[in-house]
Amino acid sequence: MRARPTGSEVRRTAVDAAVAGVLLFLVAYATLEPPGPAFTGPVWVAWLASAAVALPLAVRRRWPLPVLGCVTVAAATATAFGVVGAGVIWVSYLPVVLSVYTAATVAGHVAAALALTGGLAAPAATIPWLYERAGIGPADAPASEAPLWWTVELGMVVVPVTVAWATGRLVRWRRAVQADVARGLARDAVAAERLRIARELHDIVGHSISLIAVKATVANHVAAERPEETRAALVTIERTSRSALTEIRRLLDVLRSDGEPAAELGPSPGTADLSELTDRLRSAGLRVDLRLDRVGDLPQAVDLTVFRIVQESLTNVVKHANAGRCRVTVQGRDDGVHIEVVDDGRAPRPSGRRAVGQGLIGMRERVTMYGGTLTTGPRPEGGFRVVADIPYAAAGEAL
């Protein structure tokens, strides 16, 4: 089932339909009132031929290649039967020019080459044949403003078709380059966010193993009266924890940039720091309503992830949303934690599709790492909404 067309698609179709209507009247007028010998057949035939040439353009973006084939065949047939304006045959091929451009912007190399071949072969075969069959020449219209030679008529068609095709291929190449750049930026953003996550996991795991090492050392010193097996077990715990801490630091330090100093171990931010974060934003003129429910027992890694998601969401609100109020909800559940950040942004809608920022990519990476889900997008009533669900089980396995 095809998705419902978006507003931009409807607008583009409306523009194409208007262009098709204008070309319909232009082709019909050129056929009925040409500078050379006029079409002597019924008027309705001229209008029918003009409709066959021009009206398919209304759906040229949806079906570019079929539309090109349709208008090319229609223009060639009209030319072969003389239902064109002598001296201005190029007007009847304007729909072909536009169709060739559209096809060149979306088709692959083979299809684009065939489109150009068909767009050039049709006038090259029919225009000279029409002039020879009808015996049209300068003597037929001595006061004509357009030269009545088939070579001139053919050139007036071939040149625009070729230029349109080349322009379409250039546009396609530029779009491909822009898409490659966007994909590269997205990959860089993902890599940077994963590196940041690795650094923070370094702190989390480092703290935990350091604590194990301290506790094991203390237990080892006070266990003189314990059996030897207990002492050996505690010594093993101490050595293993210290060795693991060293290896983790050595492994994750490889991910750091050259010349970047190793990070000092420090307390990781979490939901307890959200109040301070929202207070700073309130001082900037944004009203932030914060609601925390059952977040006291979150695992350390999940707690950090919740803080980063809320932090990035609020940063986007301040930078892009032009909002006056924002609501932040963090709710612990039996199977995970639910995060929701909603604002009433009044920023004008962008003219094109909204680009996916690096902040959203980073949030998605964090949530996906724990097997959760992230949903972002504008609200029908205005503003933007970020919803994330992080399961505890997946977080525990990740750690």
* C-alpha of 210 from chain center: 44
Phi, psi of 334 (to 5 degrees): -65, -30
Instruction: Supply 39's token pair.
Output: 């079409």
Average pLDDT of the segment spanning 305-328: 84
Please report which confidence band the pLDDT of residue 87 belongs to, taking 50, 70 and 90 as the band edges.
confident
Mean pLDDT of 186-207: 71
CA angle at 224 for the pair 221 and 230, rounded to the nearest 5°: 90
Give pLDDT, residue 203.
Answer: 61
Angle at 45 between CA 44 and CA 47, to 5 degrees: 65
Q: Which pLDDT value is given to residue 205?
A: 65
The tokens 């966010």 sit on which residue?
193
Residue carrying the six token digits 């420090």: 266
pLDDT-derived band at 74 (thresholds 50, 70, 90) equals: very high
CA dihedral sign of residues 57, 63, 65, 70: negative
Average pLDDT along the chain: 79
**Average pLDDT for residues 40-58, to the nearest whole number?**
91
| DSSP per-residue letters across 3-69 | PPPPHHHHHHHHHHHHHHHHHHHHHHHHHHS-SSSPP-S-HHHHHHHHHHHHGGGGGTTTSHHHHHH
What is the model's pLDDT at position 239?
65
How sure is the predictor about 75, in pLDDT bands with cuts at 50, 70 and 90? very high
What is the per-residue pLDDT for 5?
64
Residue that the structure tokens 């079409």 belong to: 39
Q: What is the sign, positive or negative, of the torsion defined by CA atoms of 390, 391, 396, 398?
A: negative
Burial of 113 (0-12, 13-18, 19+ CB in 10 A): middle
Going by pLDDT thresholds of 50, 70 and 90, the confidence category of residue 381 is confident
pLDDT of residue 48: 93
Task: Please check whether residue 306 is in contact with residue 337, taking contact to mean a CB–CB distance below 8 angstroms.
Answer: yes
Which carries the bigger pLDDT value, residue 72 or residue 205?
Answer: 72
Residue-level length of the chain = 399
Give the model's pLDDT for residue 189.
Answer: 79
The neighbour count for residue 39, using CB atoms within 10 Å, is: 21
What tens digit of pLDDT does each residue of 161-178 get?
Answer: 999 999 999 999 999 999
Angle at alpha carbon of residue 291, lines to 295 and 391, rounded to 5°:
40
Tens-place pLDDT, residues 97-120: 999 999 999 988 999 999 999 999
What pLDDT sits at residue 201? 65
pLDDT of the residue at 277: 83
Could you say which of 3.30.565.10, 1.10.10.10, 3.40.190.10, 3.40.50.620 is the CATH number of the domain covering 271-398?
A: 3.30.565.10
The yes-or-no verdict on residue 352 having pLDDT over 50 is: no
Residue 113: the pLDDT is 92
CB of 347 within 8 A of CB of 320?
A: yes
- What are residue 328's DSSP bridge partners? 290, 341
What's the confidence (pLDDT) of residue 375?
A: 92
